[in-house]
């Protein structure tokens, strides 16, 4: 498990660095998705499958989709469409695909090992205390309810601002 954790952590670091250094927003989003999946894999190897699932659902799913939606809304015309087609050439997918394939191979190996040792839930609860979804919901919407609502309002304000910036006045 230490090797899987180390490989996942290295992939997370490399993908994050590539996210920061890419000038192309679409390429950066691809690497961001891989980075978030790698962080989810590290959570899983640490014995926190629920945190890993939340990482995939909330961040890799919802937040990255929101970013892609905003990038699509900021489309500025035919020149941008030609530029995006050039950006989405198959060569742009090589780096994220390799990193994601390594993560998928790790996930298959970890799940197979967990099934050999017992069920996934038993293996996870043996390494760390299991957290049920109700406890996470109570924590998020208990004393952190104001923070969660402020974050949602901030995302909504960003979406409205992106719409107004991307809108073409005729």
Question: How would DSSP label each residue in 49-117?
Answer: HHHHHHIIIIIIIIIHHHHHHHHHHT--SHHHHHHHHHHTSGGGGHHHHHHHHHHHHHHHHHHHHHHHH
Higher pLDDT, 67 or 3: 3
pLDDT of residue 122: 52
The helix (H) or strand (E) run that includes residue 142 is none
What are the pLDDT digits (tens) for 52-100? 888 888 887 788 877 777 777 766 667 766 776 776 777 777 888 888 8
Q: What is the pLDDT of residue 123?
A: 47
- Res. 117 pLDDT band, cuts 50 70 90: low
Kindly report the average pLDDT of the chain as a whole number: 77
More confident residue, 150 or 45: 45
Please state the rounded mean pLDDT for residues 134-139.
75
To the question of domain 2-131 being in CATH 1.20.120.1200, the answer is: yes
Q: What is the pLDDT of residue 56?
A: 85
Confidence of residue 170 (pLDDT cuts 50, 70, 90): low
Instruction: Supply angle C-alpha 15, 18, 24, rounded to 5.
Output: 125
pLDDT the model gives residue 75: 60
């Amino acid at each position: 498990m230490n090797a899987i954790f180390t490989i996942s952590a290295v992939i997370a670091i490399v993908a994050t660095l590539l996210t920061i250094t890419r000038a192309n927003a679409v390429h950066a989003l691809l690497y961001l998705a891989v980075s978030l999946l790698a962080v989810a894999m590290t959570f899983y190897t640490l014995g926190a499958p629920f945190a890993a699932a939340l990482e995939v659902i909330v961040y890799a799913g919802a937040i990255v989709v929101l970013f892609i939606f905003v990038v699509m809304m900021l489309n500025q015309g035919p020149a941008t469409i030609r530029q995006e087609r050039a950006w989405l050439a198959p060569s742009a997918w090589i780096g994220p695909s390799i990193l994601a394939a390594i993560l998928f191979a790790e996930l298959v190996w970890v799940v197979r090992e967990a099934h050999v040792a017992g069920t996934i839930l038993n293996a996870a609860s043996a390494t760390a205390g299991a957290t049920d979804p109700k406890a996470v919901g109570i924590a998020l919407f208990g004393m952190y309810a104001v923070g969660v609502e402020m974050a949602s309002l901030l995302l909504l304000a960003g979406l409205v601002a992106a719409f107004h910036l991307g809108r073409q006045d005729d």
